[in-house]
Chain A
Amino acid sequence: MAAVTRTRGSRWVLRWLVLVVVAIYLLLPLLAMVEFSTRGAGGTRSLDAWRGIGEDDDLVGSIVASVELAALTVVGMLVLLVPTMTWVHLRVPAMRRVVEFICLLPLTIPAIVLVVGVAPIYAWVTYLVGDSALTLTFVYVVLVLPYAYRAIDGGLGAIDIVTLSEAARSLGSSWFQVLVRVIIPNIRGALISASVVSIALVLGEFTIASLLNFDTVQVVINLLGKRNAGIAVAVSVAALLFAFVLLVVVAYLEPRRRDAQEDDTTAVPAPQEARS
């Protein structure tokens, strides 16, 4: 009995040792950022850096651009993937493997490699569409494909879409109605997950934007860091808090929605992965 308590005791000690050490490592840089961004002249505290966020026009402009970019990417991703994946599930299952392979392909092609191949294509995009930062939407949709695919595939796999769509079709609805009124409401949770991952990815993307010379928020923060490190660090803390809140909100949305549908046969288990 004593031996059991002893091992349990040492397990407890080890467990908390791990938690404390890792917590210090993970939290120290965050605390340092808060400390750094609130430094004033001569060892005082000041919020000038935080106030500076709203006064820097380049920064505000880039934040607006990045948020628009995130919204466009979500729309583009949904328009591209949802009809295609539904269609493949229902009508051309032979293509499922192909679509899956293509969607997961960006995982083996790092962004820094993709930008090498995409640069010549963007010469054409700029020529045809213009040189707004919003044209990055095209390549960002590619970037979010693997994560969005997994989320939506999980959603589609959890419901019997063949039966549902045949029922709808036999009652006279068109394919468009099947998609909008039957499929989409049933995979709403998966679509929210896919959108959140996409937003997080776009707001944090630096590689492609910087090497194609577009001023997104990360590119501007990087430039700002060389000029006024205080503001750059303050924006970073703000972005981090925003991402944290976003994830917590989603994490709390998902279980509640599942409880509400518990007695429903079409309950959708929320896809948990795809955040890697």
Chain B
Amino acid sequence: MTDMLAPAPARTRPTGSATRRGAGRRLTAYLGVLPFLAFVTVFLLWPTYIVVTGAFQDDLGRFTLSNIQAVVSGPAYLDSFLVSIGLSLVTAVLGAVFGALLAWAVAEGRPDGLLRRCVVAASGVLAQFGGVMLAFAFLATFGFNGFVTLLLADTLGIDPLSGGGWIYGFAGLAVVYTYFQIPLMLIVFLPALEGLKPQWREASDSLGGSGWAYWRHVGGPILAPGFAGAALLLFANAFSAYATAAALISQGSPLVPLQIRSALTSEVVLGQANVGKALALGMVIVVAVVMTLYALLQRRTSKWLR
């Protein structure tokens, strides 16, 4: 950054007129960024502005707090926030634990081994494999006519999964969400695990430390910020997810994104036109808090693992 700034003053130093020309040139230099700024203003900053201001406006555009009030005091809206946060929390923890274990199991193998290549490539796909297709995958597995549901009914004659209805509930959502959380955790956490130097392990071993002692006093503390940061990322990922839940649940709106869907698609109740924006603002706030913590932890992690 600084070494790039350095040559600029040298170029504009010589005489007065040159300086003026330099200022003009700097202005034209800023003009080069204009197309980009114009585009993001229309399609990113303006929409954000609409959400943020709309949350505080009534149907006629006058300032009001009634949208926020509706979200905070309306039991359906508040519950959806609690369920969304609970679901994100559960799947972030499950995904982080199993993803970290998977990353460890992969990192134990040879760095250029086939297993490693396959797992990393598959994780790249499966972490992206949210959405509608994932919902179908689980309906084909645990749904009413799902592979596992039928298999259990045919071979054991029992129906422990209550005919597949559970997949539409909280447990079902948790199982489905964890499916894309584990691969994401692997992608995010594997580099941190690889940052552990084998010398540290050797030092611990040669001093008589057990495997447990190594993880308790060396590996664990070094990886802890990275692990927590990755878990936060997973939380934000689950909290923002919409497509899977939308494809799975077509009636009722237990999650915030689904509440926003019904606010957008259903008939607008008079005076409630902007409640969707208040819900959206709530989501932005939660995600922003989580991502800020993530950024802070990320800085700590990079201090150790270079």
Chain A interfacial positions (CB closer than 8 Å to B)? 7, 11, 14-16, 18-19, 22, 25-26, 28-33, 35-37, 80-81, 83-84, 87-89, 91-93, 95-96, 99, 102, 105-121, 138-139, 141-142, 145, 162, 200-201, 204-207, 210-211, 218, 221-222, 225, 229, 232-233, 236, 239-240, 243-244, 247-248, 251, 272, 275-276
**Nearest-CB residue, chain B, relative to A243:** B125
Contacts of A31 in B (CB 8 A): 147
User: Of A102, A111, A115, which is within 8 A of B44 by CB?
Assistant: A102
Interface size class of B (residues with CB under 8 A): 35 or more
Question: Which residue of A32, A107, A112, A232 has the most chain B CB atoms within 10 A of its CB atom?
Answer: A112
B36 pairs with A80, CB closer than 8 A: yes
A121 pairs with B132, CB closer than 8 A: no
The contact string, 1 if C-beta is below 8 Å from chain A, for chain B 102-121, is 10111010000001010011
Contacts of A225 in B (CB 8 A): 132, 135-136, 139, 247
Contacts of A112 in B (CB 8 A): 240, 242, 257, 260-261, 280, 283
**Complex Cα distance A27/B33, Å?**
47
Q: Is B77 in contact with chain A by the CB < 8 A criterion? A: no
Contacts of B128 in A (CB 8 A): 200-201, 204, 243, 275
A218 pairs with B243, CB closer than 8 A: yes
Q: Is B291 in contact with chain A by the CB < 8 A criterion? A: yes
Contacts of A221 in B (CB 8 A): 132-133, 136
User: Of B47, B139, B243, which is within 8 A of A117 by CB?
Assistant: B47
Interface of A is mostly: helix
**Interface segment, B60-68, B155-163, B182-190, B220-228?**
B182-190
B30 pairs with A92, CB closer than 8 A: yes
Q: Is B211 in contact with chain A by the CB < 8 A criterion? A: yes
User: Of B7, B33, B39, B239, which is within 8 A of A88 by CB?
Assistant: B33
**Nearest-CB residue, chain A, relative to B115:** A19
Knowing A92-B32, A111-B240, say if A240 contacts B179 (CB, 8 Å). no
Question: What 6 pairs across the A-B complex have the smallest Cβ distances?
Answer: A117-B47, A110-B240, A32-B147, A36-B140, A206-B243, A236-B133
Q: Is B287 in contact with chain A by the CB < 8 A criterion? A: yes
A99 pairs with B33, CB closer than 8 A: yes
Question: Which residue of B37, B247, B277 has the most chain A CB atoms within 10 A of its CB atom?
Answer: B247
Contacts of A200 in B (CB 8 A): 128
**Nearest-CB residue, chain A, relative to B109:** A15
Contacts of A218 in B (CB 8 A): 131-133, 243
**Complex Cα distance A267/B46, Å?**
40
Contacts of A95 in B (CB 8 A): 30, 33
